[in-house]
């Protein structure tokens, strides 16, 4: 049986090493080094080199695990244990020198999140959790908010930036939450949004059109911090199903019901 606590501690060290590299490269970053993978999906050598660092370190840590990675620096081979990594979640923020971006590492077993690490580089905040081990920020335990009223909640989301097929439904949802919450925020890194929800800065987060590497690190954080994660329909297809919400258990029923209502119109 895996010792998830020790694996998590070592994964944290690997994430921080990648973060140091990213922070160093940002100081002299040349925007001409940016490549366009597809519409509004950007990548640079920083993403690619950071991913290679993560893959190398995590391969040594758990040789039997496979990988799902954003930049495809290693072949994805389906295995019972899979590392799901985003070397630089918030690449557009990084490119524009907006200081909200992170390293995200998730470990899943048979598509169930069992470990998560999110390192927010600029504030040097290391969020981490492992199954049945609680959720932590820089060595201190964290919990989701206890507020039970949606109208008293601060919510986070991510704006669509390449998939606009359900834009109108999204805008209608925003309109509802603007009128029925204490505000909406868009940080530009889903991993950070999930981590901030886990530690109680946000009451809830939702987004559609995401990939597994955007969310795998943050899912375990919320669950171990006492919250709930699902897709918009209330199911468990949030890693690969393109919709995700995470929140405290207190607001989850109303939050999920609202998202399902608006997106299933």
Per-residue confidence (pLDDT) for residue 1, from 0 to 100: 77
- For residues 27 and 59, state if they share a domain: yes
- For residues 173 and 247, state if they share a domain: yes
- For residues 185 and 96, state if they share a domain: no
Per-residue confidence (pLDDT) for residue 237, from 0 to 100: 95
Percent of the chain with pLDDT over 90: 80
pLDDT at residue 80 above 90?
yes
Structure tokens, 177: 């939450």
CB 79 within 8 A of CB 64: yes
CB 181 within 8 A of CB 144: no
pLDDT digits (tens, 9 = 90+) for 137-172: 999 999 999 999 999 999 999 987 666 787 889 999
Per-residue confidence (pLDDT) for residue 37, from 0 to 100: 61
In order, the DSSP letters of 203-249 are SEEEEES--HHHHHHHHHHHHHTTEEEE-TTSSS-TTTSSEEEEEET
Nearest CA to 158 out of 183, 181, 189 is that of 189
The residue range of the domain holding 249 is 150-263
Domain end, chosen from 117, 141, 165, is at 141
- For residues 177 and 252, state if they share a domain: yes
Alpha helices in 62-189 (DSSP H): 91-95, 167-179
- For residues 166 and 247, state if they share a domain: yes
Give the chain's domain count.
2
Structure tokens, 122: 């600029």
pLDDT at residue 40 above 70?
no
- For residues 162 and 257, state if they share a domain: yes
pLDDT digits (tens, 9 = 90+) for 222-256: 999 999 999 999 999 999 999 999 999 999 999 99
pLDDT digits (tens, 9 = 90+) for 191-215: 999 999 999 999 999 999 999 999 9
Question: How many residues comprise the chain?
Answer: 265
For the ranges 40-44, 93-97, 219-223, the maximum mean pLDDT occurs at: 219-223
The residue ranking higher by pLDDT, 43 or 217, is: 217
pLDDT at residue 75 above 90?
no
Q: How far is CA 71 from CA 20, 65, 67, 80, 91, in A?
A: 19, 18, 11, 21, 12
- For residues 192 and 258, state if they share a domain: yes
Whole-model pTM above 0.85? yes
- For residues 18 and 126, state if they share a domain: yes
């Amino acid at each position: 049986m895996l010792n998830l606590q020790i694996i998590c501690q070592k994964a944290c060290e690997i994430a921080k090493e990648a973060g140091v590299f990213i922070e160093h490269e940002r100081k002299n970053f040349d925007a001409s080094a940016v490549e366009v993978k597809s519409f509004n999906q950007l990548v640079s050598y920083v993403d690619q080199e950071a991913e290679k660092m993560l893959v190398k370190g995590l391969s040594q840590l758990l040789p039997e695990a496979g990988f799902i990675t954003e930049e495809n620096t290693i072949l994805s081979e389906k295995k019972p244990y899979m590392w799901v990594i985003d070397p630089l979640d918030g690449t557009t923020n990084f490119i524009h020198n907006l200081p909200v971006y992170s390293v995200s590492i998730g470990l899943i077993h048979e598509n169930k999140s069992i470990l998560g690490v999110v390192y927010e580089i600029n504030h040097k905040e290391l969020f981490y959790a492992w199954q049945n081990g609680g959720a932590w920020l820089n060595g201190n335990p964290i919990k989701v908010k206890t507020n039970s009223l949606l109208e008293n909640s601060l919510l986070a989301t991510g704006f669509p930036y390449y998939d606009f097929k359900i834009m109108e439904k999204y805008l209608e949802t925003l309109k509802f939450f603007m009128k029925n919450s204490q505000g909406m925020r868009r940080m530009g890194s889903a991993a950070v949004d999930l981590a901030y929800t886990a530690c109680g800065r946000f009451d809830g987060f939702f987004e559609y059109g995401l990939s597994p590497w955007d969310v795998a690190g943050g899912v375990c954080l919320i669950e171990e911090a006492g919250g709930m994660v699902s897709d918009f329909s209330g199911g468990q297809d949030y890693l690969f199903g393109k919709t995700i919400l995470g929140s405290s258990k207190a607001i989850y029923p109303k939050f999920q019901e609202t998202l399902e209502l608006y997106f299933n119109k």
